[in-house]
Amino acid sequence: MSFPWAKHYEPKHPLMRWMDERLPLPRLAYNAVGPGYPVPRNLNSFWNFGVLAGLALVIQIVTGIVLAMHYNANADTAFASTEHIMRNVNSGWFLRYLHANGASFFFVVVYIHIFRGIYYGSYKAPREMVWMLGLVIFLLMMATAFMGYVLPWGQMSFWGAQVITGLFGAIPLVGEPIQTWLVGGFAPDQATLTRFFSLHYLLPFVIAGVVILHIWALHIPGSGNPTGVDVKSPQDTVPFHPYYTAKDGWFAGAALTVLALFVFFMPNALGHADNYIPANPLATPAHIVPEWYFWPFYAILRAFTFDFILPAKLWGVLAMFGSILLLFFLPWLDKSPVRSGSYRPTFRIFFWVWLLMLAVLFYCGGMPAEEPYVMMSQVATMYYFAFFLIILPILSMVERTLPLPTSISESVLHGKTTDAAPTGALQPAAAE
């Protein structure tokens, strides 16, 4: 679907006409990311992160395919082959550091993309499918990143695999057989490494497929915007190309600069020293920590320390998976008709506290399971669940929202400069 005023693709060159009648691929691109896709004119910089996530996926797939040409999925030689890439393969260090830091880049971008979605109510009707497909992508990313971290077969690779697959062992009755089946043995070993490599190569292409569905679902209602008000007239939109291609272009340049600073000047800042020690099933590291992007969920897992009907470990596992699965129900938990947090003053306060609590979970997840970190993560875990399952449903019934602008173009011309101005510099004119 598109708005009636969307530009129509009219091939001028005979070759393009010939192509259009047989395989209208240029038409598809024109309507998806070209002049044929009208986009609200008031998007702020947080709307750049979807394109950045796509860019990150491409970086990961391209570097990953080349790395796989040199990597050896064998428990005896995986670590050595990684060092071979770092030392002997031409620019192998660049490929590997770009791939490792690219994963962090992907997660930073996707986290900001998700926070944007929660603040501006992007999950609300009619974009529920966009939201849920996005969560599927997030889950696939987590699985892919976890298995990728196992591949170098260092100490954290091995023990991370041991701990994470061990979570399935917490399921009553069937837990241990499931764990053995997933790992292909009683502890991570050759069978684990080869299946993780196979899946680590497969899942990015599954992600790419779900990304297509995500964008398809987005293009049915069209992009949201910071006011949360629906598009009403041609004055509310600009064509995706050249307006948002130009904006995404310079923004991608800035983001890649930040990525390059990590890749070239602090490539191991986000990693863990222990992963430069070859995997040793007989020596447990002092602190087993996952990669930083799993820290909040690791903190939730470890926040449940006392048995209550069910064993504490099972509560932790349920809460960890529940903390993500509940997001699938967000469109039905928050029934407020106002989408944007900019017009929901009370929601906004609870949202920022939620983000603060998530920061606490990030911090505690990277720390050893000691006091006071456990108590801090327990408080933050309570707020995390309360925010989505208790506060939001009640708030959406009782909150008094601010008056919405009648249209996007009205908000651009008269609204607050922070949310409304596409160039970020638009001031109310002197004539007013």
Partner 1 sequence: MVRILGFLVGLGFVGVAAWSLLWGAIAYISEPPAETVEHRFHEHPRDISFSFDGPFGRYNAQQLQRGFQVYKEVCAACHGLHYVAFRDLHDLGYSEAEVRAIADQWQIQVPSINPDTGEPAARNAIPADRFPNPYANETAARAANNNALPPDLSLIVKAREGGAPYMASLLTGYQDPPGNLPAENRPGTGLHYNPYFANLNIAMPPPITADGQVTYADGTQATREQMAEDVSAFLAWAAEPKADQRKNMGIVVVLFLLIATILGRMAYKNVWYGPKREDEAVQAAE
* Residues classed as catalytic: 219, 223, 247-248, 291
How far is 44 from 96, CA to CA, in rounded Å? Answer: 33
Shortest distance (Å) from residue 135 CB to partner 1: 16
Stretch that binds partner 1, among 16-24, 178-186, 348-356, 384-392 (CB under 8 A): 384-392
* Contact pattern for partner 1 over residues 412 through 431, marking x by CB under 8 A: xx--------xx--x-xx-x
**Torsion, CA 304, CA 309, CA 310, CA 312, rounded to 10:** 20
Which residue lies nearer to partner 1 by CB, 215 or 374?
374
Contact 224, 16 (CB under 8 A): no
**CA-based nearest residue to 9, from 1, 18, 20, 19:** 20
Stretch that binds partner 1, among 4-12, 62-70, 186-194, 259-267 (CB under 8 A): 259-267
Binding test (CB under 8 A) with partner 1, winner from 4, 22, 306, 398: 306
User: Side chain identity at 413, as an amino acid letter?
Assistant: L
Spell out where 194-350 has E strands. 237-239
Shortest distance (Å) from residue 246 CB to partner 1: 4
DSSP H or E run through 52: helix 49-70
Question: Counting contacts by CB under 8 A, is residue 249 touching partner 1?
Answer: yes
Stretch that binds partner 1, among 17-25, 116-124, 162-170, 370-378 (CB under 8 A): 370-378
β-bridge pairing 237-239 and 38-40: antiparallel
Contact 312, 378 (CB under 8 A): no
> Which residues, numbered 64-83, are part of the site for partner 1 (CB under 8 A)?
80, 83
**Torsion, CA 296, CA 302, CA 308, CA 314, rounded to 10:** 90
Query: Which tokens belong to 83?
Result: 């060092």
> Which residues, numbered 203-242, are part of the site for partner 1 (CB under 8 A)?
238, 242
> Which residues, numbered 8-67, are part of the site for partner 1 (CB under 8 A)?
41
Shortest distance (Å) from residue 263 CB to partner 1: 7
DSSP H or E run through 38: strand 38-40
Shortest distance (Å) from residue 392 CB to partner 1: 9
Which residue lies nearer to partner 1 by CB, 63 or 144?
63
Which residue lies nearer to partner 1 by CB, 16 or 374?
374
User: Side chain identity at 181, as an amino acid letter?
Assistant: W
How far is 119 from 352, CA to CA, in rounded Å? Answer: 9
Q: How many residues bind partner 1 (CB under 8 A)?
A: 71
Stretch that binds partner 1, among 111-119, 157-165, 173-181, 368-376 (CB under 8 A): 368-376
Binding test (CB under 8 A) with partner 1, winner from 13, 22, 87, 400: 87
Query: Which tokens belong to 313?
Result: 């470990």
Contact 289, 156 (CB under 8 A): yes
Which residue lies nearer to partner 1 by CB, 24 or 278?
278
